[in-house]
Amino acid sequence: MRVPMIAGNWKMNTTVSEAMELVNEIRQELDEIDNVDKVLCPPFVSLAAVKELIKGSSIKLGAQNIYFEQKGAYTGEISPLMLAELCEFVIIGHSERRQYFNETGEIINKKVKAALKVGLKPILCIGESFKENEAGRTEEVITEQLRSALAGIKYPNGSVIAYEPVWAIGTGKAATGEQANKTIGFIRQTIYRKYCTRVAQETRILYGGSVTASNIAEFIQQSEIDGALVGGASLKAGEFLSIVKQTSEIGVFERD
Give the residue numbers marked as catalytic. 94, 164
Q: Give me the torsion for CA of 44, 46, 52, 58, rounded to 10°.
A: -70
SS (H, E, C) 139-156: HHHHHHHHHHHCCCCCCC
Compute the least distance from the CB of residue 138 to ligand 13P, in Å.
17
Residue 55 DSSP symbol: T
Contact call for residue 238 and ligand 13P (CB under 6 A):
no
Task: Candidates 19, 63, 149, 229: give the one binding ligand 13P (CB under 6 A).
Answer: 229
Rounded Cα gap, residues 66 and 22, in angstroms: 24
Binding window for ligand 13P (CB under 6 A); candidates: 20-28, 55-63, 135-143, 226-234: 226-234
The nearer residue to ligand 13P, 156 or 209, going by C-beta atoms, is 209
Contacts of 23 (CB under 8 A, 6+ apart): 40, 50, 53, 54
**Within the chain, what is the greatest distance between any pair of CA atoms?**
48
Which one of residues 34, 134, 170, 193 is an interface residue with ligand 13P (CB under 6 A)? 170
Tell me which of 43, 177, 209, 251 binds ligand 13P, using CB under 6 A: 209
Query: Is residue 246 a contact residue for ligand 13P (CB under 6 A)?
Result: no
The answer to whether 61 touches 51, Cβ cutoff 8 Å, is: yes
Is 67 or 207 the residue whose CB approaches ligand 13P more closely? 207
Residue choice 93, 208, 227, 251 for contact with ligand 13P (CB under 6 A): 208
232 binds ligand 13P (CB under 6 A): yes
Nearer to ligand 13P, 80 or 93 (CB): 93
**147 Cβ partners below 8 Å, 6+ apart?**
105, 194
- Cβ atoms within 10 A of the Cβ of 22, count? 24
Give the residue, chosen from 9, 133, 159, 181, that forms a contact with ligand 13P under the rule CB under 6 A.
9
